[in-house]
Structure 1
Amino acid sequence: MRPLCCSNPGATLSYLIGIGYFRRSVAMRKANLVVVALLASLAGAAAGENLLPEFTGEWANGGPYTTSGLKEKAVYLLLVERGCPHCASLWPALGQFAQEMADEPVLVVGVLPGASKNAAESYARANEIKVPLYADADRSFEQQLLAMNLLPKPISLQNTRQALVADGKGVLYRAMWSEPVQALKRVLTTARWKVPAAEVVEPLKPAWRAMEFGQLSVSAPLIAQALKARDEKVKSCAETLAKSVKTTIEALLAEAKAKAEAGEKWAAYKILMNVSNDYKDFPESKAAATEMSKLKTDKVVAREAQARTALDNIVTQMLKSPTPSKREQGKQYLQQLIQQFPDTEAAAQAKGLL
């Protein structure tokens, strides 16, 4: 990918637009998550709510998870300073707590500000941690929590641990790290399973949990395999899980169709794009690509897609080279995007990033 330090900013932006909206590397998907997180934070701020930030970094000991994948689930977050000599004693109890909550729509997550994925994995092994760890290497997750006044100060040896809970709508609340059960009482009523735990046979629990918590690429092959099982109970359960996914996809496709018919074609296109990406391992998602092609002929949709392509690529470059000079160059390209596509959603998002 061409670097942003090109001597001709106009040529660089043209190149960024021309890369292609459908070419999604890991870095591009991460950039997209940053943009999605920005939208969510702006919407939350407008509504006076503190929303769970997107997880744009890497995971250890489990995961990955996304904020959108955790919709209608409660989340318990424990942020810990790795250098704290006393914090290791927290993890056995937290692992036990997660196990006890296995049949509840709750995800228990440890967050390690400043830790790389490798460091988080080493920390998990050393402390025999049984819950997924989010490696907040650049502390961007922590910074968003600080901006929302959900943390008194950064996690450090002077502030070794903090807990938060998110309800089924993603709204965050402060919690007592020593009382996770009490913390979850206020949010559990807002969380739900798509398929009740009592209806899931033991062999399909991994596939079920992956589906419920948005790990669709993990759940898809497990469900597909179970659909061929000789055990009728396993096969029947797999059919229930597959039906749940199908129902979700069909609802999203119907929502996209309604928006397109109402003239909201860009909104419809984005829904279809998410279906095509998130549910790509399920056959029902193929219809989304067909409908996207039809919508792409609309001039407004094409222009929005162009601007979104440029924005995703600019953010990708800024994430790949997070030095002050590169970030400053990235800001210049964001400003140029705003000038070139002033009436687009991407321009509004670029203003937010600035």
Structure 2
Amino acid sequence: MRKPSLTAILAVFLLSAAARAQDSLELKGSGWVNAKDLALDRLKGKIVVVFFFEEECPRCLAGIPGRNQLRKSYAEKPVVFIAINSGNPRGVVEEYARSNKMEWPIWVDEQRETEKPFGFKISLQNIYQWYLIDPEGKLHGAPSEEAALRADIDKYLPAAKMTFDGLGIPEKLKPLARDLELGVYDPNIAELAGLAAKGPKDVQPAAQSMYERLKPLAEAGLERGKALDAEGKKYSSYLEYSRVASWFRRTDYEKTANAALAGLKKDKDVQDELAARAMLDQARGLLYSSKKVEKDSAPALLSALQRKYPNTEAGREAAKLAGK
């Protein structure tokens, strides 16, 4: 019997150590390349394959066609593939994806905020790490070899679900359905609602059935917003109502949410949170800038935010950013 190589033993050790270091994935950074608005909380019930990678690694580069094909092979199943880059700015990641035809959604982790909690650093000495989030939202270490990775994915498939399982989706609606399966709700739910109300006869019945599956999102969001408001958690309530208003535009759900938002916008705590969030977004933009003069100005803005809005969520996030 062949003994496992030192490389294989080391890979297993690093994988298990990294898995012990982190039991959840929180995406922090400057957004997506090759995707619109993915959010892990909207993917619960599906399998999410996560690939941390080093852009300068020749092996990672050579594996792009195979990884693209792997993703395509699960296109009609409740499996989502995401990659996380190794600290380079958005422009570099966009060019990498474009020039090398990498089709996976890539999370831009410029400051390695997503990577750091895992206890490893992606580099030419540690070129990639693989993880899998199961349908219950639990994070597991995953193998890098394709056959073993497929076996892990297939193990969880019976428990995974598509939002539109059991519905016949017309070809015209399949692109829309795919975006909705990925949790890209804005503007897709509003488009679907329009088709359900006044769409062509060849798609309207299917659109109506699909929209019925999504209505609970609005109803639950409105209930949460109301409950949070009653508890005095005004900003959290504001966020819930805002999501409903954004996702369900041009529907009665939007009207209900906007009516609640009108009152919440007058609340001082909500106003402070919104102003602080705007400052934090500006500071992040400077921090992730490729221009040194802009990057160097970020700490001053973070400090100003903490002084002006110390008791806000954004103020606390600014303190964490400033400490890194």
Query: What TM-score, normalized by structure 1, do the two folds share?
Result: 0.69
Alpha-carbon offset, residue 250 of structure 1: 1.8
Match of 1:306 among 275, 294, 300: 275
1:292 aligns with 2:261: yes
The residue aligned with 1:100 is 73
Match of 2:106 among 108, 117, 134: 134
The residue aligned with 2:51 is 78
Give the number of equivalent residue pairs: 292
The residue aligned with 1:26 is none
Matches of residues 222-233 of structure 1 in structure 2 within 5 Å?
223=192, 224-225=194-195, 228-231=199-202
Matches of residues 205-220 of structure 1 in structure 2 within 5 Å?
205-217=174-186, 219-220=188-189
Aligned partners of 1:314, 1:79: CA distance in 2, in Å? 25
The question of whether the paired residues in 1 share the 8 Å contact of 2:195 and 2:204 is answered with no
The residue aligned with 2:140 is 173
1:247 aligns with 2:207: no
Alpha-carbon offset, residue 208 of structure 1: 1.2
The residue aligned with 2:95 is 118
Aligned partners of 2:60, 2:235: CA distance in 1, in Å? 48
Aligned partners of 1:153, 1:111: CA distance in 2, in Å? 12
Aligned partners of 2:28, 2:155: CA distance in 1, in Å? 22
The residue aligned with 1:336 is 304
The letter of the residue matching 2:183 is G
The question of whether the paired residues in 2 share the 8 Å contact of 1:210 and 1:218 is answered with no
Alpha-carbon offset, residue 256 of structure 1: 0.2
1:266 aligns with 2:235: yes
Structure 1 counterpart SS, 2:204: helix
Alpha-carbon offset, residue 57 of structure 1: 3.3
Alpha-carbon offset, residue 189 of structure 1: 6.5
The question of whether the paired residues in 1 share the 8 Å contact of 2:51 and 2:131 is answered with yes
Alpha-carbon offset, residue 63 of structure 1: 4.7
Structure 1 counterpart SS, 2:163: coil
The question of whether the paired residues in 1 share the 8 Å contact of 2:244 and 2:253 is answered with no
Identify if the C-alpha distance between structure 1 residues 300 and 162 changes in structure 2 by more than 3 Å, giving closer, same or farther: closer
Deviations 1:287-313 (A, max 9, x none): 323211111222333333333333333
Aligned partners of 1:313, 1:55: CA distance in 2, in Å? 13
The residue aligned with 1:159 is 126
Aligned partners of 1:316, 1:83: CA distance in 2, in Å? 25
Aligned partners of 1:66, 1:281: CA distance in 2, in Å? 23
Alpha-carbon offset, residue 87 of structure 1: 4.2
Query: What TM-score, normalized by structure 2, do the two folds share?
Result: 0.75
1:67 aligns with 2:40: yes
Aligned partners of 2:214, 2:270: CA distance in 1, in Å? 28
The letter of the residue matching 1:134 is I
The letter of the residue matching 2:51 is L
The letter of the residue matching 2:95 is N
The residue aligned with 2:17 is none
Match of 2:31 among 57, 67, 89: 57
Structure 1 counterpart SS, 2:48: strand
Aligned partners of 2:300, 2:61: CA distance in 1, in Å? 44
Identify if the C-alpha distance between structure 1 residues 161 and 302 changes in structure 2 by more than 3 Å, giving closer, same or farther: closer
Q: How big is the alpha-carbon RMSD for the aligned residues of Structure 1 and Structure 2?
A: 3.2
Match of 2:114 among 134, 137, 144: 144
Aligned partners of 2:296, 2:121: CA distance in 1, in Å? 27
The letter of the residue matching 1:256 is G
Q: Give 5+ residue unaligned stretches, structure 1.
A: 1-47
Structure 2 counterpart SS, 1:162: strand
Q: Give 5+ residue unaligned stretches, structure 2.
A: 1-21
The letter of the residue matching 1:284 is Y
Aligned partners of 2:221, 2:105: CA distance in 1, in Å? 31
Identify if the C-alpha distance between structure 1 residues 277 and 313 changes in structure 2 by more than 3 Å, giving closer, same or farther: farther
Structure 1 counterpart SS, 2:288: helix
Identify if the C-alpha distance between structure 1 residues 327 and 189 changes in structure 2 by more than 3 Å, giving closer, same or farther: farther
Identify if the C-alpha distance between structure 1 residues 349 and 281 changes in structure 2 by more than 3 Å, giving closer, same or farther: farther
Alpha-carbon offset, residue 319 of structure 1: 3.4
